[in-house]
Structure 1
């Protein structure tokens, strides 16, 4: 699913680009694609409001680029490798990177960087953090979450970070509450149409599937 959608999206991005931005899109984008596949795509579920290699003009007239620009909350989301961003960086490059981040702030953009190692080794944590950040900055804000308890919101945010269905033990680990209490929270989310129970014959629930409605509620 991702590969097919990404191919379409990437061709659209290149079709709308020219000059330096097109050159940026034609370079090695291994880190950007990994960030998109492992973190951004599972969280937002679409590419419609995502711009790749966002081009901005700094105060000094230099063009700078951000890996991904998510327009609903005006955020730049990036993948940063340790070698190129820390281990072998020159003083000039260090200064440029700080200027680039200040330029994002100048435009009023939130800067959300992820390291390659975090994306590679801890993708679930990255997804949960991104979901939390997006939820905090979404235009609907807290109003979209009215009617949800704190525990219900935490379960939904935790679920989005998983690359599989939510299990009871996952929910218990998330909330650090007793099993009967957690089951009540899960049943409430099912009743609200935010989780779908999965099991055998409809009698025994083994896990829960996050519904699209839950994404809209949080974002």
Structure 2
């Protein structure tokens, strides 16, 4: 299958999952530089877009939202990949914008994200070097961390983090997609958190719970976030 067909199917899949601002951002933000990175670097390196999300929405440190060029999420790894162009927008950035970008990156690191940044010039002129960097990172990080099964407590904390930052009640499918785990495993984790009184079933249904919200009376947001 050619890159163009592979990419189009992946893009359309994510487009169907987005709504509102997130969908609009994907339509306009996933542009030439990002597609070139996939074509020149990511696809040659892995021949797969599994666990890779374009224009991924995250909570902003100022209580808003921002979008990452790419997010690779395969629990426990959360990798942000940014493609930086050297153009008028970059060269004319104010001191405030310059500082804001650094603080934004610091908060991503505090929130558990790993970050790789590539210049547009390197993606265009030195794609093999970029490919090797991504492959080296994946090999080194996953060998050190992913082979170790995360504890139940760590997984539960990540689910609570997701629930606290979600603008709507979370569903088992949200947890399954976020942690890349089976839907039944996600349901079990949500039930366990409910039994601990850290999550509360949303709605009035009694036979089957479809979504959950955080019991803020029993969860310290400062510790989770």
Please indicate the TM-score interval, normalised by the length of the shorter structure: 0.5 to 0.7
How far the C-alpha of 1:137 sits from its partner, in A, is: 0.8
Cα deviation code 1:90-120 (max 9, x no counterpart) = 2232122113212321221111010000111
C-alpha RMSD of the superposition: 2.0
Alignment length (residue pairs): 143
Q: Residue 65 of structure 1 aligns to a residue in which SS?
A: strand
8 Å Cα contact 1:54-1:67 kept in structure 2: yes
Cα offsets for 1:153-184 (capped at 9, x unmatched): xxxxxxxxxxxxxxxxxxxxxxxxxxxxxxxx
Question: Over residues 139-164 of structure 1, what are the superposed CA-to-partner deviations in whole Å (9 max), with x where a residue is unaligned?
Answer: 56697xxxxxxxxxxxxxxxxxxxxx
Residues 85 and 141 of structure 1: CA distance in aligned 2, closer, same or farther (over 3 Å): farther
**Tell me, which stretches of 5 or more residues in structure 1 are unaligned?**
144-219
Indicate if the aligned counterparts of 2:57 and 2:67 stay in contact, CA closer than 8 A: yes
Unaligned ranges ≥5, structure 2: 148-225
| 8 A contact 2:61–2:104 mirrored in 1 | no
Structure 1 segments of 4+ aligned residues over 2 angstroms from their partners: 139-143
Residues 30-62 of structure 1 show CA distances to partners (whole Å, capped at 9, x for unaligned) of 111111111111112111211111111123202
TM-score when normalising by structure 1: 0.60
- Residue 78, structure 1, aligned to residue 82, structure 2: yes
- Residue in structure 1 matched with residue 36 of structure 2 by the alignment: 34
Where 1:8 maps in the other structure, the secondary structure is: helix
Distance 1:24 1:130 in 2: 25
Which residue of structure 2 aligns with residue 137 of structure 1?
141
Return the alpha-carbon distance in structure 2 between the equivalents of residues 56 and 139 of structure 1: 27
- Alpha carbons of structure 1 residues 78 and 84: separation in structure 2 relative to 1, 3 Å: farther
So what's the TM-score if we normalise by structure 2?
A: 0.59
Deviation at 1:127, TM superposition (A): 0.6
Change (3 A) 1:140 1:85: farther
> Could you tell me how far 1:84 is from its partner in structure 2?
5.3
Match of 1:109 among 82, 106, 113: 113
